[in-house]
Amino acid sequence: MSWKTFLKAHWSAIAATDFFSIEVITRSGLIRYFVLFVIDLKSRRVNIAGILPRPNGEWMKQIARNLTDCEDGFLNGSRHLIHDRDPLFTRSFRSILKSSGAETVKLPARSPNLNAYAERFVRSIKSECLSQIIPLGEEPLRHAVKEYTEHYHIERNHQELDNRLVEQRQGAVDMNALFERRERLGGVLNYYERKAA
């Protein structure tokens, strides 16, 4: 089965995961943090699974348990999880996912185009947010990632979703009202909206 056929056949049940790294200034110097995220391909919803300077196999097993939690696990309803060949996607990580019904699909080496939606999210968060700020510690990094993720879901239009938002806001909007400029992270992220009716 070709990759395109696989994606079409399972579109509503596929998620993808990846890491990206960001350097943070701390009292002890520059530390590289790794951010693990999961994206649902159909809805484009993103879940930040964890942020850590030195991820390891035990941490990844806990992440797998969190993602497949029967009540609020992000992978509930997903049957396939696409990931690259990072050694942190261990056999234990994959077996925890498999035991809850999510098959992992390990991509071939040097094939970022096969995980294009995850790669696009990394490019977006870095260019629109993280390259514009200097995180001074872990908490400011976590805050910036959280703010961007909320912006990504409820304030940023997505071309692949016909220029809609990932999550539509509830309530009526007065179409005759003037637009208001809103911002996050001190103006790093800006968006415009009409006042609610």
Q: What integer is the mean pLDDT of 105-116?
A: 84
Q: What is the mean pLDDT of residues 41-60?
A: 94
Query: What pLDDT, on the 0 to 100 scale, is given for residue 171?
Result: 64
Dihedral (CA of 82, 87, 91, 95) sign? negative
Buried b / exposed e over 80-118, threshold 16 CB at 10 Å, is bbbbbeeebbbeebbebbeebebebeebeeeeeeebebb
Residues 6+ apart with CB under 8 A from 7: 14, 41
Please check whether residue 166 is in contact with residue 154, taking contact to mean a CB–CB distance below 8 angstroms. Answer: yes
What band does 166 get if pLDDT is binned at 50, 70 and 90? confident
Looking at every residue in the chain, the average pLDDT score rounds to: 87
At 97, which amino acid appears?
A: L
Beta-carbon contacts of 91 under 8 Å, excluding residues fewer than 6 positions away, are: none
Q: If pLDDT is split at 50, 70 and 90, which confidence band does 33 have?
A: very high
Q: Which amino acid is at 32?
A: R
Report the percent of the chain where pLDDT is more than 90. Answer: 53
Q: Which residues pair with 19 in a beta bridge?
A: 36
Give the pLDDT confidence score for residue 1 in this predicted structure. 73
Check pLDDT > 80 for residue 7: no
pLDDT class of 3 with cuts at 50, 70, 90: low
Most confident listed range (65-79, 112-126, 134-148)? 134-148
The structural domains of the chain, ordered by start, are 3-168 (3.30.420.10)
| Residue 174: pLDDT band with limits 50, 70, 90 | low
Burial class (CB in 10 A: 0-12, 13-18, 19+), 196: exposed
Kindly state the tokens that stand for 78. 């997903």
Listed range (64-73, 117-126, 141-150) with the worst mean pLDDT? 64-73
